[in-house]
Amino acid sequence: MIAATKVWLERAVIGLNLCPFAKSVYVKDQVRYVVSSAHTGDAVLDDLTRELQALSAADPALVDTTLLILPQALQAFADFADFLDLVEVTLKVQGLTGTLQVASFHPQYQFADAEENDISNYTNRAPYPILHLLREASLARAIRHHPDPSRIYQENMATLNALGLEGWRALGVDAPSGTGSEQISAAPRDEEKSHR
Residue 127 pLDDT: 97
- Which of 61-70, 94-103, 132-141, 146-155 shows the lowest per-residue confidence on average (mean pLDDT)? 146-155
Q: Count Cβ atoms within 10 A of the Cβ of residue 92 and give its class: 0-12 exposed, 13-18 middle, 19 or more buried.
A: exposed
Phi, psi angles (nearest 5°) of residue 130: -140, 135
More confident residue, 150 or 62: 62
Task: Name the pLDDT band for 178 (thresholds 50, 70, 90).
Answer: low
CB distance 136 to 56 below 8 Å: no
Asked whether residue 183 is domain-assigned, the answer is yes
Q: Count Cβ atoms within 10 A of the Cβ of residue 188 and give its class: 0-12 exposed, 13-18 middle, 19 or more buried.
A: exposed
Asked whether residue 196 is domain-assigned, the answer is no
Q: What is the mean pLDDT of residues 84-110?
A: 98
Asked whether residue 164 is domain-assigned, the answer is yes
Q: What is the mean pLDDT of residues 70-74?
A: 98
Asked whether residue 133 is domain-assigned, the answer is yes
Exposure string for 136-160, b = 16+ CB within 10 A, e = fewer: eebbeebeeeeeeeeebeeebeebb
Asked whether residue 113 is domain-assigned, the answer is yes
- DSSP structural state of residue 97: B
Domain of residue 98, residue span: 2-190
Max CA pair span of the chain = 43
Asked whether residue 143 is domain-assigned, the answer is yes
- Which of 18-27, 104-113, 141-150 shows the lowest per-residue confidence on average (mean pLDDT)? 141-150
Asked whether residue 147 is domain-assigned, the answer is yes
Question: Of 110, 90, 77, 78, which Cα lies nearest the Cα of 47?
Answer: 90
**pTM here?**
0.89
d(CA 100, CA 55): 9
Asked whether residue 195 is domain-assigned, the answer is no
Number of domains in the chain: 1
d(CA 113, CA 142): 28
Per-residue pLDDT of 103-130, as tens digits, reads: 999 999 999 999 999 999 999 999 999 9
CB distance 18 to 159 below 8 Å: yes
